[in-house]
């Protein structure tokens, strides 16, 4: 059972190397093998999430000696378990969607090779228990994403990829510096061992500086304000399947997930750092929403919306951190963290869906400007319907899942007496509804400026993933039911709440 953890990395990594070879000889091989391996990974991820038992695999058989870790460990707990489900599920639907969308490109086997490489990197990030290997997997996913953003090799795509690489490289440098300082301070790179040492020894000034570096580095990877400059260009210029992956899972897997894992389970929670996360979350939520409302480019609007929704996630988690750092009610902190994690799962679904609908419209019309589109509701009814569901879900309207995650965050803020935060969250949700109604009207119900007589609905292989994601926007509302929530979300909440448990997992 433990050795299966390695397959989350080895299977997509092997596919990434096989696809360029066989893909040259058999055109459909890349599409088929990518979908096949992702089906396997999704089934594995769901089964391991249901059986909520921490799983540890020591690579090479190097187990701790006298409580000192001397090898690399892969760890699956409640938090990494739900992330594996989200990453591989969205990747599977994206791979199916890309089958038709990527036909306009001549080297689709290279696309799928890079896609598998990105999946291997993200799976490695959420499973590794070692800081240096975390950095290695982070770079694998990042470098693959740089290439995928530039895949169309048009001027806008290359420019966006260059900006993404420069700022991504700066983020990686800050993260590597933080890892180096941590190793210099503790003499170990094992995250559980570092957690144990920090809790038993005193490194006050150095620890704070390291955490600041990590917030800047992973905040840039997650595109939190003020580290967001790369995201609007990268996510709007990339092929739509990659936009769905970047906004849906990448900024969470290599940004938010790692930041939250380190702050809760490796370092000691402090009020100053907790407040920083909370403030960055509020700034991202509000500024991202205000920037989105003025956009006329379909995908650019969705990109700015991602910044705003990342802010909601950071608001929930940051509020939980602040409550814990003040010695407040742990049940209230758990509620805030639950809202943040719930919204993280929701955002992966409805933002993946919305970028797919954008790709469907662009695939059919060749246009992204809201002022040039219109009247597509009658011509593309499935795309229109799924876009409407995604828009209402992200805006927080009942009975869609986004309503429940936002309500939990707002309720936690009210119960913690942070009334201003609750008001800002509610107002931002209204702003979100405003620009998505603008999007729906401009694309599907307005009068077109261009000739739409030759436009037709997207191919079935693109519509099926969109329909599945639209269904999930409703189905995930069931996570509010305690019996379902306890299986899916609460193990992740408990992993973060039990801050010292990560160290004891390896018997340290």
HEC string of 64-113 equals: CECCECCCCEEEECHHHHHHHHHHHHHHHHHHHHHHHHHHHCCCHHHHHH
Query: What is the phi/psi pair of residue 120, to 5°?
Result: -60, -45
**pLDDT tens by residue, 384-431:** 999 999 999 999 998 999 999 999 999 999 999 999 999 999 999 999
Residue 442: the pLDDT is: 86
Query: From CA 393, how far away is CA 342, in angstroms rounded?
Result: 13
Return the beta strands (E) in 92-195 as ranges.
none
**pLDDT of 322-355, one tens digit each?**
999 988 889 999 999 999 999 999 999 999 999 9
Mean local confidence (pLDDT), 53-65: 75
Model confidence over 127-136: pLDDT tens digits? Answer: 998 899 999 9
pLDDT for 11 beyond 80: yes
pLDDT score, position 206:
84
**The predicted structure's pLDDT at residue 451:** 66
Given a cut of 60, is residue 295 above it in pLDDT? yes
When mean pLDDT is compared over 47-56, 375-384, 408-417, the highest value belongs to 408-417
What local confidence, expressed as pLDDT, does residue 36 receive? 94
Residue 106 has pLDDT above 90, yes or no: no
List, as own/partner pairs, every contact residues 29-34 make where C-beta atoms lie below 8 angstroms and the sequence separation is at least 24, other chains included.
29/109, 30/108, 30/109, 30/111, 30/112, 30/113, 31/95, 31/98, 31/99, 31/108, 31/112, 33/112, 34/95, 34/112, 34/115, 34/116
| CA nearest to 496, candidates 264, 283, 278, 223 | 264
pTM of the model: 0.93
**Residue 192: predicted pLDDT:** 84
Q: Are 74 and 129 in contact (CB under 8 A)?
A: yes
Predicted pLDDT of residue 422: 95
Q: Which residues contact 487 (CB under 8 A, 6 or more apart)?
A: 49, 50, 52
Q: What is the pLDDT of residue 234?
A: 86
Q: Which of 85, 99, 378, 36 is nearest to 257 (CA)?
A: 85
Contact (CB, 8 A) for 506 and 192? yes
**Domain parsing of the chain, residue ranges:** 2-505
Q: What is the mean pLDDT of the chain?
A: 88
Cα–Cα distance measured from residue 374 to residue 441, given in angstroms and rounded to the nearest whole number: 8
Q: In the prediction, which pLDDT does 502 show?
A: 67
pLDDT tens digits along 252-262: 888 899 999 99
Mean pLDDT of 299-320: 94
pLDDT at 3 over 80: no
Least reliable range by pLDDT among 81-90, 111-120, 444-453: 444-453
Q: How confident is the model over 150-190, as pLDDT tens digits?
A: 887 678 788 888 889 999 999 999 999 999 999 998 888 88
The string of pLDDT tens digits covering residues 473-488 is 999 999 999 999 998 9
pLDDT computed for residue 453 by the predictor: 67
| Cβ 88 vs Cβ 37: under 8 Å | no
The pLDDT value given to residue 1? 59
Question: What string of DSSP letters covers 351-379?
Answer: HHHHHHHHHHHHHHHS--BTTT---HHHH
Contact 241, 337 (CB under 8 A): no
Contact between 171 and 220 under an 8 Å Cβ cutoff? The reply is: yes
Task: Tell me what pLDDT residue 490 has.
Answer: 92
| Predicted local confidence at residue 450, as pLDDT | 66
C-alpha closest to that of 127 among 199, 181, 73 = 73
- DSSP3 helix / strand / coil % (the chain, rounded to 5): 80, 5, 20
**Across residues 25-49, what is the average pLDDT?**
89
Distance between CA 40 and CA 47 in Å, rounded?
11
d(CA 90, CA 119): 10
d(C-alpha 361, C-alpha 380), whole Å: 8
pLDDT at 239: 86
The residue among 345, 353, 413 whose CA lies nearest residue 388 is 353
Lowest-confidence range among 60-64, 147-151, 478-482? 60-64
């Amino acid at each position: 059972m433990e050795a299966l953890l390695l397959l989350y990395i080895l299977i997509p990594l092997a596919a990434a190397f096989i696809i360029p070879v066989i893909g040259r000889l058999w055109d459909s091989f890349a599409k088929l093998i990518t979908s096949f391996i992702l089906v396997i990974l999704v089934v594995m991820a769901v089964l391991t999430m249901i059986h909520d038992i921490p799983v540890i695999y020591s690579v090479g058989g190097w187990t701790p000696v006298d409580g000192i870790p001397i090898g690399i460990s892969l760890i699956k707990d409640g938090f990494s378990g739900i992330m594996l489900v989200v990453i591989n599920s969205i990747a599977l639907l994206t791979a199916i969607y890309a089958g038709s969308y990527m036909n306009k490109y001549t080297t689709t086997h290279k696309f799928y090779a890079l896609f598998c490489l990105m999946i291997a990197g993200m799976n490695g990030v959420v499973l590794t228990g070692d800081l240096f290997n975390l950095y290695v997997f982070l770079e694998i996913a990042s470098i693959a994403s740089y290439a995928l953003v530039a895949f169309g090799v048009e001027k806008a795509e290359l420019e966006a990829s260059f900006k993404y690489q420069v700022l991504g490289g700066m983020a990686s440098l800050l993260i590597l510096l933080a890892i180096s300082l941590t190793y210099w301070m503790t003499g170990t790179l094992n995250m559980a061992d570092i957690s144990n040492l920090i809790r038993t020894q005193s490194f006050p000034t150095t620890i704070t500086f390291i955490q600041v570096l990590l917030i800047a580095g992973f905040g840039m990877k997650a595109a939190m304000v003020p580290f967001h400059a790369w995201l609007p260009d990268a996510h709007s210029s990339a092929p739509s399947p990659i936009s769905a992956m970047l906004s849906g899972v990448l900024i969470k897997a290599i940004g938010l997930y790692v930041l939250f894992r380190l702050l809760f389970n490796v370092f000691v929670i402090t009020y100053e750092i907790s407040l920083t996360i909370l403030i960055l979350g509020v700034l991202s939520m509000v500024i991202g929403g205000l920037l989105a409302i003025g956009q006329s480019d379909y995908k650019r609007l969705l990109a700015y919306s991602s910044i705003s929704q990342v802010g909601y996630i950071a608001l929930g988690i940051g509020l939980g951190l602040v409550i814990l750092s003040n010695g407040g009610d742990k049940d209230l902190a758990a509620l805030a963290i639950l809202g943040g994690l719930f919204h993280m799962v929701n955002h992966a679904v409805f933002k993946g869906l919305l970028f797919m609908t954008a790709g469907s419209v662009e695939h059919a019309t060749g246009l992204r400007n809201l002022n040039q589109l219109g009247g597509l509701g009658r011509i593309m009814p499935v795309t229109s319907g799924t876009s409407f569901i995604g828009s209402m879900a992200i805006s927080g309207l009942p009975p869609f899942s986004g309503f429940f995650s936002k309500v939990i965050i707002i309720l936690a803020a009210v119960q913690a007496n942070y009334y201003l935060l609750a008001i800002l969250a509610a107002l931002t949700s209204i702003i979100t509804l405003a620009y998505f109604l603008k999007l729906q009207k401009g694309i599907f119900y307005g009068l077109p400026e261009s000739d739409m007589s030759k436009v037709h609905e997207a191919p079935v292989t693109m519509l099926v993933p969109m329909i599945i994601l639209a269904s999930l926007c409703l189905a995930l509302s069931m996570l509010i039911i305690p019996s379902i929530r306890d299986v899916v979300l609460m193990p992740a909440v408990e992993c973060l709440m039990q801050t010292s448990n990560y160290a004891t997992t390896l018997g340290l």
